[in-house]
């Protein structure tokens, strides 16, 4: 997770849901087509570029976001965790600089990675309150209250180009072994589905976008989550 070479690796899964809603007219004309651009990053916890300035950095990211939104206003900018830490600057500022920069760039929504808890739950809640973007966590909750941690949204509905998009943020349970969240922070994938469907019924066209954060390391990269199919909710979890 700390390898600079994958600072902006995205773990993306998009599921198109048709059941229970109106079907697409497969012969419909081109004006019915809506293009949605999703830019997702993760493990972006430093402001400066890497490889002697040749790659990465928040300045390049800001330029990329601006260009993509100019090409397609129907865009979402998301972050799948690990951005408050670790970095030398965060040792002193505890992630404040990342909140300020991502707000300035125009981040839409984030979910937790294990490094968001590096300075403890209380500091993370402070950073959440300082931010203007949304925090979405479908399965990280406060054990004491049973609610989502820090007042994060369990899910979020946004309308992009007239299409209602349901956003879920999942931090897989193995993160519990590598966080400083403490005993009162619970990572439970079942919590994601106990609340039911994240979108209202009756919508003609619906998308669900899952932003996953997984701490398993395979060949020095984040591994994608694949449900083993044993759980009755596997049809909703599989990527």
Does residue 103 lie within any of the structural domains? yes
Task: Specify the pairing of strand 12-17 against strand 206-213.
Answer: antiparallel
Summarize pLDDT for 151-175 with one digit per residue, the tens: 999 989 899 988 888 888 888 777 6
Average pLDDT over residues 185-210: 62
Q: What's the CA angle centered on 190, arms 141 and 142, to 5 degrees?
A: 10
> Which span out of 36-50, 62-76, 133-147 was modeled with the highest average pLDDT?
62-76
113 contacts 213 by C-beta, under 8 angstroms? yes
Hey, what are 36's tokens?
Answer: 């949605």
Q: According to the model, what pLDDT value does residue 109 have?
A: 96
- Alpha-carbon span 215 to 210, nearest angstrom: 16
Does residue 65 lie within any of the structural domains? yes
Q: How many domains does the chain have?
A: 1
Q: Which residues span the domain enclosing 86?
A: 4-21+35-237
Q: According to the model, what pLDDT value does residue 183 have?
A: 80
Average pLDDT over residues 95-106: 97
pTM above 0.85, yes or no: no
Of 16 and 188, more confident: 188
- Alpha-carbon span 18 to 159, nearest angstrom: 17
User: Residue 34 — very low, low, confident or very high, per pLDDT cuts 50/70/90?
Assistant: confident
Does residue 28 lie within any of the structural domains? no
- Alpha-carbon span 175 to 197, nearest angstrom: 25
Query: Strand 37-41's sheet: what is its strand order?
Result: 37-41, 75-79, 109-110, 134-135
Of 5 and 141, more confident: 141
Q: According to the model, what pLDDT value does residue 201 have?
A: 43
Does the pLDDT value for residue 116 go beyond 90?
yes
71 C-beta neighbours (distance < 10 Å), count: 10
> Which span out of 37-41, 127-131, 143-147, 234-238 was modeled with the highest average pLDDT?
127-131
Write down the mean pLDDT value for the chain: 74
Average pLDDT over residues 208-222: 52
- HSE value, Cβ hemisphere, 13 Å, CA-based, for 20: 10
CATH of the domain at 121: 3.60.21.10
Does residue 29 lie within any of the structural domains? no
Q: According to the model, what pLDDT value does residue 126 have?
A: 97
Q: According to the model, what pLDDT value does residue 195 have?
A: 58
Does residue 130 lie within any of the structural domains? yes
Does residue 27 lie within any of the structural domains? no
Does the pLDDT value for residue 79 go beyond 50?
yes
Q: According to the model, what pLDDT value does residue 211 have?
A: 66
CB neighbour list of residue 134: distance below 8 Å, 6 or more residues apart: 108, 109, 110, 153, 156
């Amino acid at each position: 997770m700390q390898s600079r070479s994958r600072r902006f690796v995205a773990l993306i899964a998009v599921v198109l849901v048709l059941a229970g809603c109106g079907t697409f007219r497969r012969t419909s004309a081109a004006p019915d087509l809506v293009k949605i651009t999703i830019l997702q990053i993760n493990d972006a916890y430093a402001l400066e570029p890497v490889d002697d300035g040749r790659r990465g950095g928040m300045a390049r990211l800001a330029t990329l976001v601006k260009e993509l939104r100019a090409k397609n206003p129907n865009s979402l900018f998301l972050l799948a965790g690990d951005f408050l830490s670790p970095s030398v600057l965060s040792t002193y500022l505890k992630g404040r600089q990342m909140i300020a920069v991502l707000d300035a760039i125009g981040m839409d929504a984030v979910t937790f990675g294990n490094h968001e808890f590096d300075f403890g739950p209380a500091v993370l809640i402070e950073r959440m309150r300082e931010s203007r973007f949304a925090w979405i966590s479908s399965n990280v909750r406060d054990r004491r209250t049973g609610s989502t941690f820090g007042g994060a949204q369990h899910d979020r509905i946004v309308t992009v180009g007239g299409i209602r998009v349901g956003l879920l943020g999942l931090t897989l349970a193995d993160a519990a072994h590598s966080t400083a969240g403490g005993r009162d922070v619970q990572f439970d994938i079942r919590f994601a589905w106990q609340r039911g469907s994240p979108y209202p019924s009756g919508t003609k066209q619906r998308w669900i976008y899952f932003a996953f954060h997984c701490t398993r390391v395979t060949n020095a990269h984040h591994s994608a989550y694949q449900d083993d199919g044993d759980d009755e909710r596997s049809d909703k979890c599989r990527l």
